[in-house]
Amino acid sequence: MRPLMRNEIVQIASRPLRAIRSGRFWLSPVVARLSPRHGMMMDSYRHEEEGRYAEALETWTALKRPVSSKDQAFRHTLRAARLEQKAGHYAEAVASFSMLHALNPGDQRVARGLESASLRAARLAQSEGRWLEACRMWAAFGRATARREKCRRNLRDCARYVAQSADSAQKIMDAIEAWGLLRAIDPESREARHGLEWCHVSLARAAERDGDEAAARRCWNALLEVAPGDRRALDGLERLGAAAR
């Protein structure tokens, strides 16, 4: 028996599934010729074994996602999400895991993947000063983890950084998103409610100064959703109504 075949037999015997999946057996070239799709699948697993995660991901995503069953589509997306994380594409991994989590909230493989990927993505965004992105990643972390206090604490800190730079309409909108993410995780947060109130008041008053009555009305009504009966919002809507008469 030639040495190469002997080594392949030993490898298959020790780890049969992995060896077959990655195409490390003597019939793999034949399989690849007969089914290019399976050849690409074997290439992807082999790249992963060798630590070439970006190449494994590229090869895997080049495959047309199977649609013959929901289970096959799930497994294909789950592997893509795991490869995205291994390749360091944390935001993409969070998006993939989040989609799977929405469809399969009880699947622990998905929950663990989302928790791990979002934690890495949040830490990376924080280290680079991308505070709104960090808020989004901590919110994703909160959907998958039991460590709620860790999530609230970090999301609150990141939201504060977003709010500190809210010196334009767009940045105020960013702050609204950040405080809204915190409020979704912690509905009782007074800081999130006060932050949202300030943002909506600021935008409403700016819209009134600019003569944009429709935008002002939207902002005052948004304030009422956060703080029902707020006098500032009621007075603002009354002013707009009087101006329209």
**47-50: long-range contacts (C-beta < 8 A, 24 or more apart)?**
48/22, 48/83, 48/86, 49/18, 49/22
Mean pLDDT, to the nearest integer, of 210-234? 96
Closest listed residue to residue 240, CA positions, set 200, 231, 198, 215? 215
pLDDT tens-digit map of 139-190: 999 999 999 999 999 999 999 999 999 999 999 999 999 999 999 999 999 9
111 HSE (CA, 13 A, CB side): 11
Name the residue ranges covered by the structural domains of the chain.
1-41, 72-128, 131-142+149-245
Closest listed residue to residue 158, CA positions, set 180, 129, 185? 129
pLDDT tens-digit map of 45-91: 777 788 888 888 888 787 766 556 788 888 889 999 999 999 999 99
pLDDT for residue 114:
97
Pure H helices in the chain? 3-14, 16-21, 28-34, 36-49, 53-62, 70-86, 90-103, 108-127, 131-144, 148-164, 169-185, 190-209, 213-226, 231-244
pTM: 0.79
pLDDT for residue 57:
87
pLDDT band at 115 (very low <50, low <70, confident <90, very high): very high
The mean-pLDDT minimum among 28-32, 125-129, 186-190, 195-199 falls in: 28-32
**Three-class DSSP category at 76:** helix
Helices 190-209/148-164 angle, 10° precision: 30
Number of other residues whose CB lies within 10 A of the CB of residue 14: 9
Fold (topology level) of 131-142+149-245: 1.25.40
pLDDT for residue 14:
37
CB 179 within 8 A of CB 192: yes
Residue 166 token pair: 């809210």
CB 76 within 8 A of CB 40: no
